[in-house]
């Protein structure tokens, strides 16, 4: 049933995809995450203090810079798959993060601080945001796995990742720290980046390694941040869990997370947070396709639970 629901989503969306693809030309501004041009290009563009590259994990621009560094350092392996690094399968990560930022999902949902709000600290990523915490495991664990796999070569400095103000123990901050706390997760990401070091890797094999690491990250982080769901409306909390569940099914298809394919897919995700009173499948300011995707994700999650 699960795969059937996913295929229904894909089939119902395919006619619309072509239209989105032509709009999102590789060089088009809208194809990239918000503020992409302002993010650090590589690791030496981050502040260097006391012989350490200092990265603020709770700043949108810095987190984007980590993704940009990964994309730039791995670009040479994806030359054959599209111009301007557009065929790089790591695009899925910063594009998903950009969608979260654009739709307000990284701001403080408890409303206690101004973190992430336009009239407050816009670039701040709230540690109370379920999306922001989950995303940490799809940003810094891949990054540290890549460092360990040698993607960046020999770095002249150590890397220091700054912790959040609260919930410090829910995260790890260095290769050594992460390795001691979550060896399986680090192993999976390191394995993916090592595959890309082969001179002639097959794209499908790389996707297999990447999705394995991706789903391991989500499975590890989900129980950790269950408490953060309480800050969200019921429809948004349900959607978050439905989305996390669906990733397992998307992963099974070895979905290609290059620039164009990911942009096409994300056009069908909700372009704002869900609020109390949003009832599927008739959320009036969502397109029919967006309503359809949310219904399918819900059905997929329910079926997955029922079948164990």
Contact 225, 133 (CB under 8 A): yes
Q: In the predicted model, what is the mean pLDDT of the chain? A: 91
pLDDT band at 201 (very low <50, low <70, confident <90, very high): confident
Rounded CA-CA distance 21/162 in Å is 38
pLDDT computed for residue 195 by the predictor: 72
pLDDT at residue 15, as a whole number:
39
Residue 110 φ/ψ, nearest 5 degrees: -80, -15
Q: Is 174 exposed, middle or buried (0-12, 13-18, 19+ CB in 10 A)?
A: middle
Q: How confident is the model at residue 16 (pLDDT cuts 50, 70, 90)?
A: very low
Higher pLDDT, 19 or 87: 87
Q: How many CB atoms lie within 10 A of CB 281?
A: 14
Percent of the residues in the chain that have a pLDDT greater than 70, as a whole number = 89
- Rounded distance between C-alpha atoms, residue 214 and residue 6, angstroms: 18
Helices (H) and strands (E) in the chain, counts: 11, 3
Tokens of 84: 């301007």
Taking only the tens place, the pLDDT of each residue in 42-97 is: 999 999 999 999 999 999 999 999 999 999 999 999 999 999 999 999 999 999 99
Q: Is the pLDDT of residue 23 over 80?
A: no
CA 176 to chain centre: 23
- Higher pLDDT: 5 or 149? It is 149
Q: Which residues of 36-70 are buried (b: 16+ CB within 10 A; e: fewer)?
A: beebbeebeebeeeeeebbbbbbebbbbbbbbbbb
Instruction: Output the pLDDT for position 26.
Output: 55
């Amino acid at each position: 049933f699960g795969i059937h629901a996913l295929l229904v989503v894909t089939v119902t969306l395919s006619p619309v995809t072509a239209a989105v693809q032509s709009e999102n030309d590789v060089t088009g501004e809208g194809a990239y995450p918000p503020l992409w041009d302002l993010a650090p290009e590589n690791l030496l563009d981050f502040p260097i203090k006391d012989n350490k590259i200092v990265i603020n994990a709770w700043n949108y621009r810095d987190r984007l810079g980590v993704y940009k560094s990964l994309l730039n350092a791995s670009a040479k392996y994806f030359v054959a798959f599209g111009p301007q690094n557009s065929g790089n399968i790591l695009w899925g990560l910063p594009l998903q993060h950009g969608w979260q930022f654009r739709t307000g999902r990284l701001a403080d949902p408890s409303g206690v601080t101004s973190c992430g709000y336009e009239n407050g600290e816009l670039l701040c990523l709230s540690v109370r945001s379920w999306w922001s915490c989950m995303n940490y495991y799809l940003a810094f664990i891949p990054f540290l796995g890549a460092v360990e796999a040698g993607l960046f070569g020999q770095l002249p400095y150590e890397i220091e990742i700054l912790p959040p103000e609260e919930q410090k123990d829910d995260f790890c901050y260095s290769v050594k720290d992460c390795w001691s706390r979550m060896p399986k997760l680090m192993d999976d990401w390191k394995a993916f980046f090592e595959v890309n070091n082969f001179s002639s890797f097959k794209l499908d094999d790389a996707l297999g390694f990447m999705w394995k690491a991706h789903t391991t990250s989500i499975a590890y982080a989900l129980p950790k941040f269950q408490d953060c769901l309480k800050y969200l409306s019921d429809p948004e909390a349900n959607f978050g869990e439905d989305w996390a569940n669906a990733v397992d099914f998307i992963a099974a298809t070895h979905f290609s997370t290059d620039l164009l394919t990911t942009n096409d897919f994300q056009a069908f995700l909700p372009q704002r947070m869900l609020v109390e009173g949003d009832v599927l499948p008739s959320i009036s300011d969502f397109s029919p396709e967006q309503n359809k995707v949310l219904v399918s994700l819900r059905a997929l999650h329910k079926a997955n639970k029922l079948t164990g």
